[in-house]
C-alpha cells in the first residue's frame, strides 16, 4: 500500500491543484513513498472499537446566530491580485466559455 | 526609562543582531516608536506596559504585512489584528517586528522559509529550531524580552529548547487563534517565548482566556498565574516515561534531564515511573493528521482573494490559474504536506491512514489520562538532541520529523506543555552538516513538562521553582551583550502595573 507510483503522485497533485514540474514529481514520488513507509507502523496496532479523536474539545461549539461587525467589501477586495472594486468583485479567468 | 527608550534600545539590539541571525521578516520601527510616544504620554498601567515584543509572522497585524514566510502571501496586508495582537497592545506591549518561520509553520528548523533561514544565536552554523525559529532567536539574543510563537507539533517548545529560553504551548483552546494563519486546526496553539517562567505567566495572563471570535476558544477561567508562582513543589509528582525517554536521546541531553529531575527532588518533589505505550507513535499519527488538516486549510490560497497570482496567458483557465499559482507560491515542504494530506484523505486511503491515525490519537490521550492518575506533570527532554546544523536534515523529511518525538504528544492530546532550559552541550563534534562551527560554542538543552488540561498554573509553578535554583535560562549567547537586561521586570518602563 505504501508504494506510490509517479502516476499516483500526478493524480494527487491534480486533486491538490498543484501544477508540479517533472523534477517535483520525481522528488515527491520518492519522498512521499519514504514517508508512507515510515507511517505504515501504525497499521500494526489493533484499534478495533477505538473511537477516533478528530478534536480534543469535549463541548459543543455552537453559539447564537447574531449578526456582528465584519470587514467591509472594500477592505476585503483590497488584497486581491485582480479585482473590480467599483463593482465589488474579484476577477478571475473566464469560467464558462 | 520610558517606553520610547525601551523601544529605541530594542531596535538598536535588533540592528546589531539581525545581520547575523536573520530573525525578522518585518521591522515596524516607526509604528513602534509612535506607539511608545503615545504610551509615554498616557501610561497604560497594563501588565506589559512599554515592553517591546516580536510576533511570529503568521499572526495578522492590521496594516503590517503578514507573510507566513511564504511567497503565496507576498503583498498581503491584513485589514485586521489577531486577538493576541489586540490583547498585547491593550496591556501596553509594543510590537517591534514580525519574525521568520518555516513556511506556514511547517518545519523544525526555520529553513523552510521563502525568506531565508534564521540562525541559532548560540552557534550561527546551526538552526534555531522551528517553526517559530525567528521568535526564539530574537528572545535568546536578547533583542526582545517577549515573543509569540505558534505550536502545532512543538514549534514553540523545540526552538525554545534549542535556543536556551523558556517556551510554552498552553492548553488547546486557552489562547484565541483568531487572526492566526491556520496550519492544522485541531493542533495549533499560540504561546509565549520568554527568558523566565515568571514572564511566561505574565504573557499568558494577557493573551489567554475566552474569545468569541474563535469557535475553539475555551470558556475555562484563567487563574491568577503570578499568584501560582510560590516556589513550592513539595509533594509534586513528576511522572517520567522511562521507556519512551530512553530511545535515541543524546547522552548530554539525557544527563541534563536527569540533573533537572534532581533539582526538583531536592525541592521536595517526587519522581514516579509512568508508561506512555503509544507515545512512540506520535510522529506517524501527527504527520497523517497535520497534513490532512493542512491540505484543507491551505486550499484557500488560490490566487483569488489575496497574495500571489501566477502570470497567465490569454487562454488560461481558472483551473490553470489555481494550479500554477499554488505551484509558484508554495515551497517544497508545504507542497509535500499538502500532497500527503490530500492522499490520506482521498477515497480508498482515508480509513487506512487518516481514520487509523485518529484512533491511535485516542490511545495516546488514554495513555496521558492514565499517567495523570499517578503524576501531576509528565517530564521528558524537549528534543532528542541539541541544535543541529543548517542543511543537516533538509534532504530527509523523516529525519527532520523525528526531532519532534517528545513534543507532538501535547498537541495530539491538547495538553499544556512548557520547555525550560536545563543545561548545555559542547558544540564541537556534533553534527555532520556544512559550515565551520563556532569555536568553543555551547548548545542549550531543554526539558519539557506537560500538565493536565488548563493546568498551566502547575507547569509555571514548577518551571519557576526550577529557575529559582538554576541559572541556565539566564545565560546569554556571546552574540548578545552580557550586560543586556533579560526579563520583563528589567525592561519595564515607568507607567506599568503597580507591583
| Contact state of B186 with A56 under an 8 Å Cβ cutoff | yes
Q: What is the mean pLDDT of residues A22-50?
A: 95
Residue B482: predicted pLDDT? 56
**Residue in A12, A34, A38 nearest the CB of B343:** A12
Pairing outcome for strands B270-273 and B237-240: parallel
| Contact state of B79 with A45 under an 8 Å Cβ cutoff | no
Q: HSE (CB half, 13 Å, CA atoms) of B146?
A: 34
CA distance B25 to chain A (A): 19
Quote the domain boundaries for residue B109: 3-286+354-491
Q: What is the mean pLDDT of residues A34-59?
A: 92
Q: Is residue B231 in some structural domain?
A: yes
CATH architecture of the domain A6-44 equals: Orthogonal Bundle (1.10)
Burial class of A29 by CB neighbour count within 10 A (0 to 12, 13 to 18, 19+)? middle
Q: How many interchain CB pairs under 8 A, A with B?
A: 163
Interface with A, mutate which of B342, B369, B396, B404 (most A CBs under 10 A): B342
**Residue in A34, A35, A92 nearest the CB of B318:** A92
- Chain-centroid distance of CA B406 in Å reads 14
Residue B88: predicted pLDDT? 98
Q: What averages of pLDDT result for each successive group of 10 residues across chain B (499 residues)?
A: 95 97 98 98 95 98 98 97 98 98 97 97 97 98 98 98 98 98 98 98 98 94 98 98 92 97 98 97 97 98 97 93 97 97 94 96 98 98 97 90 95 98 81 48 96 98 98 95 64 68
CA distance A62 to A72: 25
Residue B499: predicted pLDDT? 44
DSSP state of B80: S
* Residues on chain B touching A29 (C-beta within 8 angstroms): none
Q: Is residue B347 in some structural domain?
A: no
Q: Is residue B278 in some structural domain?
A: yes
Q: Please, what's the b/e burial string for B26-55 (b: 16 or more CB within 10 A of its CB; e: otherwise)?
A: bbbbebbbebbeebbeebbebbbbbbbbbb
Residue with cell string 488540561: B453
Phi-psi region of B152 (alpha: psi -120 to 50; beta: other; left: phi over 0): alpha
- Residues making up chain B, counted from first to last: 499
Residue B432: predicted pLDDT? 43
CA distance B113 to B396: 17
* Residues on chain B touching A71 (C-beta within 8 angstroms): 79-80
CA distance A16 to chain B (A): 6
Q: What is the mean pLDDT of residues A40-68?
A: 89
Kind plus residue range of the DSSP H or E element containing A84 = strand A83-84
Residue B167's nearest CA partner among B136, B137, B144, B198 is B136
Q: Is residue B343 in some structural domain?
A: no
CA distance B465 to B228: 11
Q: Is residue B221 in some structural domain?
A: yes
| Contact state of A13 with B340 under an 8 Å Cβ cutoff | no
| Contact state of B186 with A19 under an 8 Å Cβ cutoff | no
- Confirm if B443 and B430 have CB atoms less than 8 A apart: yes
Query: Which of the four pLDDT bands, split at 50, 70 and 90, describes residue A62?
Result: confident
Q: Which chain B residue has the Cα nearest residue A47?
A: B359
Kind plus residue range of the DSSP H or E element containing B424 = strand B417-426
Check if B186 contacts A (Cβ < 8 Å): yes
Burial class of B19 by CB neighbour count within 10 A (0 to 12, 13 to 18, 19+)? exposed
* Residues on chain A touching B323 (C-beta within 8 angstroms): 14, 17-19
- Tell me which residues of chain B, numbers 387 to 416, contact chain A at a CB-CB cutoff of 8 Å: 396-398, 412-414
- Chain-centroid distance of CA B374 in Å reads 29
Q: Domain limits of chain A?
A: 6-44
Residue B395: predicted pLDDT? 87
| Contact state of A12 with B358 under an 8 Å Cβ cutoff | no
Identify the CATH number of the domain in which residue B264 sits.
Answer: 3.90.1300.10
| Cell, residue A97 | 466559455
Residue B440: predicted pLDDT? 65
Cα dihedral B450, B377, B88, B133 sign: negative
- Confirm if B385 and B250 have CB atoms less than 8 A apart: yes
**Residue in B80, B172, B339 nearest the CB of A28:** B339
Angle between helices B456-469 and B251-266 (to 10 degrees): 100
Give catalytic residue positions of B: 56, 131, 155
CA distance B82 to A67: 20
CA distance A52 to chain B (A): 4
| Cell, residue B199 | 514572564
Amino acid at each position: 500500500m505504501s508504494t506510490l507510483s509517479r502516476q499516483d503522485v500526478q493524480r494527487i497533485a491534480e486533486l491538490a491543484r498543484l501544477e508540479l514540474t517533472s523534477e517535483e514529481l520525481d522528488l515527491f514520488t520518492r519522498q512521499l513513498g519514504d514517508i508512507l513507509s515510515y507511517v505504515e507502523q501504525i497499521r500494526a496496532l489493533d484499534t478495533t472499537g477505538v473511537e477516533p479523536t478528530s478534536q480534543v474539545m469535549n463541548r459543543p461549539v455552537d453559539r447564537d446566530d447574531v449578526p456582528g461587525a465584519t470587514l467591509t467589501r472594500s477592505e476585503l477586495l483590497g488584497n486581491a491580485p485582480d479585482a473590480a472594486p467599483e463593482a465589488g468583485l474579484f476577477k478571475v479567468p473566464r469560467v464558462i466559455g | 526609562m520610558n517606553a520610547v527608550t525601551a523601544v529605541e534600545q530594542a531596535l538598536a539590539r535588533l540592528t546589531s543582531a539581525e545581520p547575523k541571525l536573520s530573525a525578522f521578516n518585518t521591522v515596524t520601527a516607526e509604528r513602534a516608536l509612535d506607539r511608545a510616544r503615545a504610551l509615554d504620554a498616557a501610561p497604560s498601567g497594563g501588565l506589559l506596559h512599554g515592553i517591546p515584543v516580536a510576533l511570529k509572522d503568521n499572526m495578522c497585524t492590521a496594516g503590517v504585512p503578514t507573510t507566513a514566510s511564504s511567497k503565496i502571501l507576498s503583498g498581503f496586508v491584513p485589514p485586521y489584528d489577531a486577538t493576541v495582537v489586540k490583547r498585547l497592545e491593550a496591556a501596553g506591549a509594543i510590537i517591534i517586528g514580525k519574525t521568520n518561520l518555516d513556511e506556514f509553520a511547517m518545519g523544525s528548523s526555520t529553513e523552510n522559509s521563502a525568506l531565508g533561514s534564521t540562525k541559532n544565536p548560540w552557534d550561527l552554523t546551526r538552526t534555531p529550531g522551528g517553526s517559530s525559529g525567528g521568535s526564539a532567536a530574537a528572545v535568546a539574543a536578547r533583542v526582545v524580552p517577549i515573543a509569540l510563537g505558534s505550536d502545532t507539533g512543538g514549534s514553540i517548545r523545540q526552538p525554545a529548547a534549542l535556543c536556551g529560553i523558556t517556551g510554552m504551548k498552553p492548553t488547546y483552546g486557552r489562547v484565541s487563534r483568531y487572526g492566526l494563519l491556520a496550519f492544522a486546526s485541531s493542533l495549533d496553539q499560540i504561546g509565549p517565548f520568554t527568558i523566565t517562567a515568571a514572564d511566561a505567566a505574565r504573557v499568558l495572563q494577557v493573551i489567554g482566556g475566552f474569545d468569541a471570535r474563535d469557535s475553539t476558544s475555551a470558556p475555562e477561567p484563567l487563574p491568577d498565574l503570578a499568584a501560582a508562582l510560590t516556589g513550592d513543589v513539595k509533594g509534586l509528582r513528576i511522572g517520567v516515561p522511562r521507556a519512551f525517554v530512553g530511545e535515541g536521546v543524546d547522552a548530554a541531553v539525557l544527563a541534563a534531564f536527569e540533573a533537572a529531575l534532581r533539582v526538583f527532588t531536592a525541592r521536595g518533589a517526587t519522581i514516579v515511573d509512568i508508561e506512555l505505550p503509544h507515545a512512540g507513535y506520535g510522529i506517524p499519527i501527527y504527520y497523517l493528521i497535520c497534513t490532512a488538516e493542512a491540505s484543507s486549510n491551505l486550499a484557500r490560497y488560490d490566487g483569488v482573494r489575496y497574495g500571489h497570482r501566477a502570470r497567465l496567458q490569454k487562454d488560461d483557465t481558472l483551473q490553470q490559474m489555481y494550479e500554477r499559482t499554488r505551484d509558484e507560491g508554495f515551497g517544497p515542504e508545504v507542497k509535500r504536506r499538502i500532497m500527503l494530506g490530500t492522499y490520506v484523505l482521498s477515497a480508498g486511503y482515508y480509513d487506512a491512514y487518516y481514520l487509523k491515525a485518529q484512533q491511535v490519537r485516542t490511545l495516546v490521550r488514554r495513555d496521558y489520562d492514565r499517567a495523570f492518575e499517578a503524576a501531576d506533570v509528565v517530564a521528558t527532554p524537549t528534543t532528542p538532541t541539541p541544535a543541529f546544523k543548517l542543511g543537516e536534515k533538509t534532504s530527509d523529511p523523516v529525519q527532520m520529523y523525528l526531532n519532534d518525538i517528545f513534543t507532538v504528544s501535547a498537541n495530539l492530546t491538547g495538553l499544556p506543555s512548557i520547555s525550560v532550559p536545563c543545561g548545555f552541550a559542547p558544540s564541537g563534534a556534533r553534527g555532520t552538516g556544512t559550515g565551520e562551527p563556532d569555536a568553543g560554542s555551547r548548545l542549550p538543552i531543554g526539558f519539557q513538562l506537560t500538565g493536565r488540561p488548563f493546568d498551566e498554573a502547575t507547569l509555571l509553578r514548577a518551571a519557576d521553582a526550577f529557575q529559582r535554583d538554576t541559572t541556565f535560562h539566564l545565560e546569554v549567547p556571546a552574540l548578545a551583550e552580557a550586560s543586556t537586561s533579560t526579563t520583563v521586570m528589567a525592561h519595564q518602563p515607568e507607567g506599568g502595573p503597580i507591583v
